[in-house]
Amino acid sequence: DILLAGGSAVDGAIAALICTSVINPQSMGLGGGVIFTIREKNGKVKIINARETTPQEVKADLLSKCSSSTGAHWVGVPGELRGYERAHRLYGRLPWKRLFEPTIRLARDGVKISKLLSLYLIVLQGQDSALSRLFMRSDGTLMKEGDTVKFDKLADTLQKIADGGADEFYSGDVAKALVRDVQEAGGSLTEEDLKSFQATESPAWSVSLDKYKMFFPPPPAGGAILSFILNVMEGYELNPKSIQGYKLVETYQRYVEACKFANGLKQFIKDPKFSSDKEAHDLIKVDFAGRVRNMITNAKTHDAQYYNVTPHADTQGTTHVSVLAEDGTAVSVTSTINHIFGSGVLSVNTGIILNNELADFCGRTKHIQPGERPPSSMAPVVLYSASDDHTLVIGGSGGSMITTGMATVLMNYLWLGKTLRESITSPVVYVDGKNELAFERTFDQ
């Protein structure tokens, strides 16, 4: 509807994300963060990073509590709306308010609980919290698929932001109410944290894959890890025969090993404002992929030390939106509150579910600094082929499963002869943070 009304690709993406915040509130929303990869019609690619940051008064012993990643002490400074604001100022056509109107109506009228959301509501079972009460029937039981949930407080908040802009969230009445709720729940978020938050702009990083150039966000996003896996696999000169007969096992053995090495490299994905990004630059180089490829054996796996892996928690949140407009503008954007229902904290005065983004530091570093952005698996990418003027916009949801899912799709599409639809629907094998494998039920046994 937004595109048909004359909106830009960015308008469409923002409106879709706002809507998704009430359709899939377990995965993303105003209390989270977002990363845009935008290819302009002139071919220039820009990154807008509005990933959450560490509050100024973060507790020094926070990372000693990584065994449990729920609670207000894990809340990072939300960046979602500053990201929308920056993208809209640069590329929006429709009025800011117009992007919020459909979701405000939806939130007030109520949303039917989807099958997906109903499955995730199980994590709230037995809780007596503001969040669980939001999804509770009048008889005190949790809602089921098909029930209707209304987001009245969130609708009021969305209306204020639609009328007053993102500043309402970062320095207005919404900011005051949000901070009060988070602090009462034990968090360290302050009004100054919100006032000082800024989205950043940067050029995209890129690698060449087959006939395409793939553009992706730099650290602390996860595009460099995705690029590494694809660089390793491209060196095997894959083709449709690579997944036929005995070759199928060999191809996936190599792929799984590449993913294990990728886990070991995640330690180099850090906020460049606080750490050098030289190592991250090095790991997207073709010669580095070649060195790792030489360490991969076709019939053997190894212990964690071989891959230099430090186990870290896996996440399943996030939402991705891809938009390709008629004028050639492409938007790939990923948003998250991190784990399912984020921190588990609902701001009762704003209706906003808060992230637990600081948990992404667990297993990756021993110290965090105020203002630092945590590492992320998010990798919204745009691929462009100059030879046939073809654009592919792709990203993933599922938290730490993003990298595996996207790498599988792109491997299928670029080299294994599958259509885009087949590439997306094909089952995947997931390598978790402990280098253990999980297969989709329909994966070839």
- Residues annotated as catalytic (active site), given as ranges: 318
Measure the CA–CA gap between 169 and 409, rounded to whole angstroms. Answer: 37
Measure the CA–CA gap between 443 and 445, rounded to whole angstroms. Answer: 6
**DSSP code, position 135:** T
Q: Which of these, 199, 151, 191, lies nearest to 35 by C-alpha position?
A: 199
**Residue 337 annotated as lining a ligand binding site:** yes
**Residue 51 annotated as lining a ligand binding site:** yes
**Residue 336 annotated as lining a ligand binding site:** yes
| 336 strand-pairing partners | 33
**Residue 114 annotated as lining a ligand binding site:** no
Alpha helices in 150-211 (DSSP H): 152-164, 167-171, 173-184, 191-196
Q: Which of these, 90, 55, 102, lies nearest to 74 by C-alpha position?
A: 55
**DSSP code, position 142:** B
**Residue 70 annotated as lining a ligand binding site:** no
Q: For residue 118, what are the contacts with CB-CB under 8 A and spacing of at least 6? A: 143, 144, 145
CB 349 within 8 A of CB 364: no
Residue for token digits 């993102």? 166
Measure the CA–CA gap between 331 and 8, rounded to whole angstroms. Answer: 10
**Residue 76 annotated as lining a ligand binding site:** no
**Residue 343 annotated as lining a ligand binding site:** no
Count CB atoms within 10 A of the CB of residue 122: 10
- Going by the annotation, the residues of the binding site for L-glutamate are 51, 336-338, 360, 376-377, 399
